[in-house]
Amino acid sequence: MSPSELKQLIRTVPDFPGPGVQFRDITTLIGHAEGFAASVRQLAACAHDAGAQAIAGMEARGFIFGAAVAAQLDLGFVPVRKPGKLPVASIGIDYALEYGSDRLEMDPGAVDAGQRVVIVDDLIATGGTALAAAQLLRRAGASVEHALFVIDLPDLGGARKLRDAGVAVQALMQFEGD
């Protein structure tokens, strides 16, 4: 399926989670067998071209696409978790959100020093979570130079933040506005 055909599978929910927000809902894409498989194949091709040695994804929707891409490429998957979810000693990073803050954690033994890890997630908006994940993975010793997304919301500037931090960004589709 082409990127424009995949884009047609994304449901837009107006005024969620608040007034004026156009929520881009990927559940309609992942529920469409052909569309989901095509999006995973396209992301996997990009990850392969980036020289990925492992794939990382952020909880929760990054697990869906990231793990599928890792399986497609016969690579390991590195889960970047919400706080308190790991049963082993972890490292973490606090980061700012539009209204407040959050934290990501990971097992520092999940990556090898210098391992090329490609981040995969469903959507990039303001970029706070993806940038924090890149910083956390780098702190663990990974080389993070690429991040892949199903959707980019370019007006929110997240891709630009990642590029400014030395992370190349690719997305299967874009939606203008927020």
17 φ, ψ to 5°?
A: -85, 5
Q: Is 34 one of the catalytic residues?
A: no
Residue 26, pLDDT score: 97
pTM of the full structure: 0.96
Q: Do residues 129 and 161 touch, judged by C-beta distance below 8 A?
A: no
Whether residue 59 contacts residue 82, with contact meaning beta carbons closer than 8 Å, is answered with yes
Q: Kindly report the backbone phi and psi dihedral angles of residue 52, in degrees, each rounded to the nearest multiple of 5, phi listed first.
A: -55, 135
Give me the pLDDT at residue 46, please.
98
Burial of 13 from C-beta contacts in 10 A (0-12 / 13-18 / 19+): exposed
Provide φ and ψ at 172, rounded to 5°.
-75, -25
**Per-residue pLDDT averaged across 51-66, rounded?**
97
Exactly one of 41, 61, 103, 138 is catalytic; which is it? 61
Kindly tell me if the per-residue pLDDT of 98 is higher than 90: no
Domain boundaries, the chain: 3-174
- Helices and strands (DSSP H and E) totals, the chain: 6, 9
Sheet holding 76-80, edge to edge: 76-80, 54-58, 116-124, 143-152, 168-174
Q: Which string of DSSP letters, residue by residue, matches 53-95?
A: SEEEEETTHHHHHHHHHHHHHT-EEEEEBPTT--SS--EEEEE
Q: What is the pLDDT of residues 102-139, one digit of tens each?
A: 999 999 999 999 999 999 999 999 999 999 999 999 99
Q: Is 98 a catalytic residue?
A: yes
CA distances from 115 to 43, 77, 105, 123 (A): 19, 12, 18, 24
We find that the CATH architecture of domain 3-174 is: 3-Layer(aba) Sandwich (3.40)
Strands 116-124 and 143-152: what pairing?
parallel
The CA distance from 93 to 89, in Å, is 14
